[in-house]
Amino acid sequence: MAEFLRKYCVHIPQRFLVCGMLFISFFICVMDRQAYFQTIYTVVYVPTSEVGSKSECPAMYDKGNHRGALGDFMIRFFIKHEQMRALTQVFYIGFLISNIPAGCVADHYGGRWVITVGVLMGSLTTLMYPTIALQGPVQLALARLIQGLGQGLVFSSTYSIMAQWIPKSERARSMAIISTGISAGWGIGYGLPIIFHKFMGVWQMPMYLTGTVGLLWVLVWLLF
């Protein structure tokens, strides 16, 4: 792999390759978030007491397999509204905790390994989401926290890497290109889970796909 990269990328300026890899890292991070949001919000059963008549009992949740609109059996998770909000918020708590320390570490030791650990944490967590989700909301919240910690490492270390590789006259343009990975991740990450759910009935696939792409990125980055 290393020989292949050196052979075919020899004529590309190193800073352009770094910019491209950082773009992909941002893309992967946002895809990790979207894979969680779109998948979980699609397959999670959120109970509600709103019924047609006040005299009626709230709808009961069947813990067995649920047959979806397409006739495929889909696992449904029983999670309350409050738990859903907590699962969303705990990611950003982890992101907040790791963001500033990650920047300090990257400035002192370099951002290469910091961003590697960050993408690795996020990708491994995404790969394990389908299994962890079956264990309950507490385990899922812990996974979300770990993913938030990892992504805090990615975004902070990016600026340190740019300072080392990108000339001052090109940093604004390079940062604009890298930040485009966020928009690309939101756009593709929004539609990908819907496609798998609607046409294939496989809710786990977006997580497996996104997590695998992240691990491939780590491999290429280490050989880079």
Q: Are 214 and 121 in contact (CB under 8 A)?
A: no
Q: Which of 75-84, 144-153, 160-169 has the lowest average pLDDT?
A: 75-84
Instruction: Write down the pLDDT at residue 180.
Output: 94
- Residue 52 — very low, low, confident or very high, per pLDDT cuts 50/70/90? very low
pLDDT at position 161 is 94
125/107 Cα distance (integer angstroms): 26
The span from the CA of 162 to the CA of 155, in Å, is 11
Q: Which domains are present in the chain?
A: 26-40+83-223 (1.20.1250.20)
What distance in Å separates the CA atoms of residue 188 and residue 34, rounded to the nearest whole number? 9
Decide if pLDDT at 72 tops 60: no
Q: What is the CA radius of gyration of the chain?
A: 20
pLDDT > 50? residue 10: yes
* Residues facing residue 44 across a β-bridge: 77
Query: Locate tokens 């990708």: which residue?
Result: 123
Kindly state the tokens that stand for 1.
């792999």
| pLDDT band per the 50, 70, 90 thresholds, residue 191 | confident
DSSP state of 199: I
